[in-house]
Homo-oligomer: A and B are copies of this chain.
Amino acid sequence: MARPTLGDVARRAGLSPAAVSLILNNRPSRLSAAASERARKAAEELGYRPNMAARSLRTKSQTLGLVSDFITTSGVGGQLIHGAIQQARETGHVLLIAETEHDPEVSEALPQLGRTPSGPADERMAINTLLDRMPEGIIYAAIRSQSVTLPDEAKSVPVVLLNAASLCDPVCSVLPDEYSAGRASAQLLVDNGYRDRIALIGSRRSRTRDSSVTPTVQRRIAGIFSVFDENGIVLSAEQDCAVWDVPTGYATARGLLESGVRFEVLLCLNDRLAFGAYQALAEAGLHVPEQVSVLSFDDDPLATYLRPQLTTFALPFEEMGRLAVRLLLDPDAEKGEHLVPMPLRMRGSFRPKAPA
């Protein structure tokens, strides 16, 4: 009743294990067609499957490691993993997952330093636990860090950074194309007739400690302003937000409304801010999109909960997960940043400017 081994198959086929191995792996050899036939038949009948643990000792393990510090956070970790699993499966690979108990406070306190050179202890531990299983490569996923420094341990196998970049190590890293999405959002306004009465919520002129905001979103902001600048557009209002969460969105939008500034478009730098803004707009009796169009980023699940649903540029987490696996398995993959487009989810909160 135990799992059949190569030896079992060989015995049944009247061959040696070596012969069966060659046959089942389609190795070039001069084994007779009859022998091949018998071997395959025996394997089939026994339901033989090679033991990967044993095979790993000599060849590839067909296993990839994924280390992350945010599987639990914000629900998006799931999408990233989902994409990676899907892609891995296409090549018969399986994902081994570990989490670092990354203390957000610590990494927030040292934003410029990134991490200490050798990496925190538990991070090294997590990576080592994976390496012990001989993965073919490791995906290093992070949410709170722009400049990751890889622990030495990680360098013994191919590494791809997921949602993170490294300043020191020459590795592949997969990131959302924030800059292009920023540009696209501004361009969308221009193309639809909006040139003034545009308000923006969530800029980061001042330093912040909000751990939920990835440094890469600075590119989002840069993209937005690059298009506005090119078109000579000046914002009616630009509100800094220290934190990108719902209460802040509410408070900021409310402040904006009370200030008396008029605007027809509200560009929110993420969906949670937009959610808060919706609450403030509703309170003020303003209708979306009739009186105010709202545009946002992230495509958080809540974007479709809102009424009207939120038009937003999606963080392409699933596709990022897939790409990370592809890069990991591709020996010719170019080092450096690989940007994944952030697709526009056009929904009810946005409409073209009404003719004057």
Contact = CB atoms under 8 A, between A and B. Distances in A.
B301 A74 contact: yes
A97 B71 contact: no
A77 interface: yes
Contact of A129 (B94, B98, B302, B318): B94
A95 B94 contact: no
A147 interface: no
A350 interface: no
Given A53-B57, A53-B134, A99-B82, A275 B305 contact: yes
A78 B85 contact: no
Given A52-B132, A52-B133, A94-B133, A156 B3 contact: yes
A75 interface: yes
A60 to B, nearest CB: 11
Interface string A84-97: 01100100101111
Contact of A99 (B53, B86, B156): B86
A336 to B, nearest CB: 25
A146 interface: no
Interface in A88-112: 89, 92, 94-99
Nearest to A247: B307
Interface residues of A, number: 53
B96 A96 contact: yes
A94 B130 contact: yes
Contacts of A63: 96, 133
A166 interface: no
A304 B246 CA distance: 9
Interface string A127-165: 011111110000000000000000000001000000000
Most chain-B Cβ atoms within 10 A of its Cβ — which of A51, A97, A279, A282?
A: A97
Contacts of A53: 53, 56-57, 61, 132-134
A133 B52 CA distance: 5
Contacts of A72: 78-79, 81-82, 318
A243 interface: no
A165 B318 CA distance: 29
Contacts of A52: 132-134
A301 B302 CA distance: 9
B307 A129 contact: no
Given A75-B76, A301-B74, A94 B98 contact: yes
A297 interface: no
A49 interface: yes
9 contacts: A49-B131, A51-B134, A53-B53, A63-B96, A71-B81, A78-B78, A94-B129, A95-B98, A302-B302
- 9 tightest A-B CB contacts, nearest first: A75-B75, A72-B82, A53-B56, A52-B132, A78-B78, A246-B305, A77-B78, A53-B134, A85-B99
Interface of A: 3, 49-54, 56-57, 61, 63, 71-79, 81-82, 85-86, 89, 92, 94-99, 128-134, 156, 246-247, 250, 272, 275, 279, 282, 301-302, 304-305, 307, 318
Given A85-B98, A96-B96, A96-B97, 20 more contacts: A52-B133, A53-B53, A53-B57, A53-B61, A53-B132, A57-B57, A63-B96, A63-B133, A71-B81, A71-B85, A72-B79, A72-B82, A75-B76, A75-B78, A78-B78, A81-B81, A94-B98, A95-B97, A246-B307, A247-B307
